[in-house]
Amino acid sequence: MNTNTGKVTLLSAGPGDLDLLTLKAVKALAAADVVLLDDLANPDIVTLAPQARVIRVGKRGGCRSTPQAFIERMMRRYALKGLHVVRVKGGEALLFGRAGEEIAILRDAGIALDIVNGISSGFAAAAGLGISLTHRRHCHGVTFVTAHTEDHGEPDWAALAATRTTLAIYMGMRRIGSIAAALLASLPADTPAAVVQWAGAIAERRLLTRLDRLAADAVDAGFDSPAVILVGDAIGESVEAEYGAAAGALTAVDKADDGVVAQAA
């Protein structure tokens, strides 16, 4: 490793609530010379890095994004100048955040690297719904999956449904119709489902529904990215807690005051 270089910290900013940052994250920000700020992170996070130069490098599905190669060049360039670069990523940096590519680039350049973990939006969504993703009454695990692969293909939804785990689906809103249809080939129509938009942030919205109405209800309620789709029997615990009814037994309810929308056939 080149001892004359600076270093890079891959920092997980969590779901948006700055109170959920780790102490390690706060210390890294305070020591940063350069902050490369992800579009999904709370922009107020820069107040914790008062001496840093802030460069916004947003990456959003379906929107104009900063090219990944440019971000990697920026990290390498400033670190090789001896600076401490903090690459701020929304959620958990190691989960669907292209961290693997950035780690490889930095290692190849001999640049020191720290990784700071954070709360992924899937966990924040579960917290907002007041459920356990691995409730032992309903499942034996949870599967985190992205709705599209590098080659723009889709996961094997039938195989995922067969696991009988809670499915936490990231980056799936543009394909929510095809996702629901694929899962319905293997799961019952009344399987509890939810969409949580801006999980863990002040603007959080939550939709409780069932699998056969998932796509229609999400569209009708105006849900969009960034959002996490949750599917599985464990999601029914949120419906029971909120409304004293099993998933699918609800009439339509709109709780605009707390951002919860419940729909049923």
Q: pLDDT tens across 7-48, in order?
A: 999 999 999 899 999 999 999 999 999 999 998 899 999 999
In the block, residue with structure tokens 């969009």 = 224
* Banded pLDDT at 239 (limits 50, 70, 90): low
What is the SS3 assignment for 61? Answer: coil
Burial of 196 (0-12, 13-18, 19+ CB in 10 A): buried
- Selecting among 7, 59, 212, 217, the annotated active-site residue is 59
- Architecture per CATH, domain 7-116, reads as 3-Layer(aba) Sandwich (3.40)
7 sits in which H/E element: strand 7-12
Measure the N-to-C terminal CA separation of the chain; round to a whole number of Å: 60
The pLDDT of residue 244 is 53
| Prediction pTM value | 0.86
Tokens in use for 177? 């119709």
Mean pLDDT value across the chain: 88
The answer, yes or no, to whether residue 1 has pLDDT greater than 50, is: no
Q: What is the average per-residue pLDDT within 48-61?
A: 86
The domain segmentation of the chain, as residue ranges, is 7-116, 121-262
- Selecting among 33, 38, 190, 217, the annotated active-site residue is 38
Q: What is the pLDDT of residues 134-191, one digit of tens each?
A: 999 899 999 999 997 766 778 999 999 999 999 999 999 999 999 999 999 999 999 9
In percent, the amount of the chain with pLDDT more than 70 equals 85
In the residue annotation, 75 being an active-site residue is answered as no
In the residue annotation, 171 being an active-site residue is answered as yes
CA quadruple 41, 44, 50, 56: dihedral sign: positive
Q: How many CB atoms lie within 10 A of CB 149?
A: 9
Class of domain 121-262: alpha beta
- Selecting among 171, 173, 190, 212, the annotated active-site residue is 171
CA within 13 Å, CB half, 135: 16
DSSP state of 171: S
